A and B are shown apart, each in its own frame.
Chain A
Amino acid sequence: MNPDDAKDPDFPYGRTFYPGVHDRASAGIISLSGGDQIRDRDIHLEEQFAPRHVTVRVTWEDGQLIKDFVFVEARGNVNTAAMAQKKQPDLKKSVVDLSVLPNESYEVDASLTCRYWDDRSIGPGAKLNSNQVHLKPGDGQTELLLIIPATSCPELPGKKSLHDGN
């Protein structure tokens, strides 16, 4: 499991060999001959760290929820390899549950790509970015509010926005 020993807040388990050891020399060897059907070789994992969970709410500047896919990204500003990305799963809530590493500092922001359509086509348009919020280890923040500095997507002549009606 996790052969790269990557620190992933969504999978907080280090490199683990069967049946549940971290060094390869201690790993159990499963001998398989042709046609063998070996069962119940479970692998046991232990959490290496408890990921930090942050609830991120993204709204228009008038406080209205955004009824489209919003991408929230947390970038480690010390450890640049530490990165977490989430897309809001529920179009009615505009809320993202983000998992990050507990001992890392992050810059968190959101983006929305406006989408337009007419009778013949549908496609992306302007990309709107939210404000940026700084997340430090131990700062106690469990909820973040990110605001897209507009009340709707910009209008395009002859096109309708998928965000009309927000």
Chain B
Amino acid sequence: MCNSTNITSGVFLNPVIEFCRILMFLRLIQWMSRIGHQRPGFRRNCPRSNRFAANDFSFLSSRKARIQVNESFGGLPPDAKEVEVMTGSGGGDCGIAFKAGDVYLIAAAVGTDGVYHVGICSPTRRLEYAGAALSVLRKERDGYKVSSLTGTIAQYDRDFQGTLGTHKAKPLATTRIRVKGGGSVYETWSDEQGLYEFYVLPSDQYEFAPDLPPGTTLSWFIGSDRPQVPFDLKAACEERDIQVFDSGSIQGRVLDSLNNVLPFASVYIAPADAEAIPKTSQ
């Protein structure tokens, strides 16, 4: 017996999307919720995964969502305005907790039962987190050349309300992005949404070298000036976001009354104008 959820709108990916793409985005989602760092992306022409070869998605069948289709990237009839997809209930069954009124980029798969199924092990995400994927999908659908490396560049400011959280990313518009690899330097500019694209990059190992705003760094580790780890570009299209952080740092020691260093002491920092000091037990 299925419960039904009404969704006002969604953007639909090809329901017979390559399975490797599903796997790539699985990693991406895990990454966004945990660390918020470089995300491996969106590759085309990848081999299929044996795991999903049987197309048995019966485990994603306990809830049914009705989706209003705003835009499709293939696999649906041209006049499809609404589709129903099956998903799980959450709690470990890989279901997606769709919320009525939200807009999603949905990657569904057709199961052996001929029905659309969607789970967390797919690129499905709320549209606000679609990033460069939407642009690439539109180009791919409309027959335009697709970039070989794309993503967004955005600044992440510390959120002092949490332990190690950040505020919502601020896209860095009109920023010069460079990648270095194979003895060459390639450059492009981000658009108003911080989206950047490189075309026809040869397969190689690259590292980012964008023009950063003053007082910022590419390193997540506060006070560190270590360069980012180079990445291999092998696929025809890859998505990588560039995350920019404030580079300011405060260093000091924690000393006891005899000026001995106290190792492993936890130090907290809060804005001087904050009304309350966060409790560690909160």
Contacts and interface: CB of A to CB of B under 8 A. Distances in A.
Contact of B253 (A24, A38, A42, A46): A42
Contacts of B268: 1, 3
A47 B280 CA distance: 20
Contact of B248 (A36, A39, A42): A36
B279 A45 contact: no
Nearest to A43: B254
A126 B254 CA distance: 43
* Chief secondary structure at chain A's binding surface: loop
B254 A11 contact: no
Interface in B238-263: 246-257, 259, 262
Contacts of A39: 251-252
Contact of B254 (A29, A32, A38, A42): A42
B250 A41 contact: yes
A30 interface: yes
Interface string B105-132: 0000000000000000000000000000
Interface in A2-32: 3-4, 11, 13, 18, 24, 29-30, 32
B246 A34 contact: yes
B214 A45 contact: no
A165 interface: no
A116 B253 CA distance: 46
B184 interface: no
| Chain A interface size range | 20 to 34
B256 A47 contact: yes
Contact of A43 (B216, B267, B278): B267
Interface in A33-64: 33-47
B276 to A, nearest CB: 10
B248 to A, nearest CB: 5
Contacts, number: 79
Contacts of A35: 214-216, 246-248
Contacts of B262: 13, 45
Nearest to A45: B256
Contacts of B280: 3-4
A33 B248 contact: yes
A34 to B, nearest CB: 3
Contacts of B164: none
Given A1-B268, A46-B257, A47-B257, A38 B281 contact: no
A85 B248 CA distance: 38
B54 interface: no
B256 A1 contact: no
Nearest to B225: A37
A40 B254 CA distance: 10
B50 interface: no
B252 A11 contact: no
Nearest to B223: A37
A11 B265 contact: yes
Contact of B250 (A3, A24, A38, A45): A38
A45 B257 contact: yes
B272 interface: yes
Nearest to B259: A44
B33 interface: no
A140 B263 CA distance: 30
Given A33-B215, A37-B223, A43-B254, 15 more contacts: A1-B267, A3-B280, A4-B279, A13-B256, A24-B277, A29-B272, A34-B216, A36-B248, A38-B251, A39-B252, A42-B254, A43-B255, A44-B257, A45-B265, A47-B256
Interface of B: 213-216, 223, 246-257, 259, 262, 265-268, 272, 277-281
Interface of A: 1, 3-4, 11, 13, 18, 24, 29-30, 32-47
29 contacts: A1-B265, A1-B267, A3-B268, A3-B277, A3-B279, A3-B280, A13-B256, A33-B215, A34-B213, A34-B246, A34-B247, A34-B248, A35-B215, A35-B216, A35-B248, A36-B249, A37-B251, A38-B249, A40-B251, A40-B252, A41-B252, A43-B252, A44-B255, A44-B256, A44-B257, A45-B256, A45-B265, A46-B256, A47-B257
